Amino acid sequence: MKIALIGYGKMGKAIEKTAIERGHEIVLKIKRENLQDFNKENLSNADVAIEFTSPESALNNVVKSMEWGVPVVCGSTGWNNKLHIAKEKCLEVGSAFLQASNFSVGVNIFFEINKQLASIMNDWQEYDVKMEEVHHTEKKDSPSGTAITIAEQILENLKRKKHWIEGQPKSDDEISITAFREPNVPGTHVVKYVSAIDDIEIKHTAHSRDGFALGAVLAAEFVQHRKGIFTMSDVLMK
């Protein structure tokens, strides 16, 4: 498979390493210094694009890639309010698009446990729920896209909660997310149910970017010959 990397920071370099180890070829690397190379002619050499940039540039990168005939795997977070535009474009041009807040296989297993636990706790009113997340100081969005995904999963399954909020909740129907930024932390997410009697906690701690990189490459392998809108659940359950 020939891969275009749109975004060649720490994640892009980790993805490159994993992709090559799995026998793939990197045919294009787009970073700040060569933005002019992001064009239809260069992208036409790729079977799939993997996009990890910023909330400001993600939509343009994704839409252009699909318009130019290349399916896209996107890991940029912080642009959820524009995701519908990318999905509409995917259907319009008959491409493939997979966006995830987190590509780690472990995190996606955590997602499934989180949904199941929230559903169980729906019957136990005495437990309140709160969340914490820790990431490196270079992370642009807060709370993380992964934390927002986790919170939205809880909201879908825990009926007494209606909203999430960063910081202290202002009402009983809100889920509190506390975000910390510390040097050299790939990502930690904690969901804790608290009662007067005991606490129940689930936690995922990433030790490196390797798990995210592997998931992104697996997603690229999945969408290469497909059309439509997909999630990491599709990749893991194939």
pLDDT at 132: 97
Is residue 145 part of an annotated ligand binding site? Answer: yes
Is residue 157 part of an annotated ligand binding site? Answer: no
Number of other residues whose CB lies within 10 A of the CB of residue 59: 18
Is residue 226 part of an annotated ligand binding site? Answer: no
Its pTM stands at 0.80
Q: Is pLDDT larger for residue 132 or for residue 142?
A: 132
Q: Tell me which residues are annotated as active site.
A: 135, 139
Q: How far apart are CA 72 and CA 60, in angstroms?
A: 12
Is residue 75 part of an annotated ligand binding site? Answer: yes
Domains in the chain, CATH or no CATH each: 2-103+210-236 (3.40.50.720), 105-205 (3.30.360.10)
Confidence band (pLDDT; 50, 70, 90) for 238?
low
In this predicted model, what pLDDT tens digit does every residue of 34-51 receive, in sequence order? 999 999 999 999 999 999
Q: How far apart are CA 1 and CA 129, in angstroms?
A: 43
Confidence band (pLDDT; 50, 70, 90) for 101?
confident
Task: Determine contact, residues 7/77, Cβ cutoff 8 Å.
Answer: no
Q: What percent of the chain clears pLDDT 90, i.e. is strictly above it?
A: 84
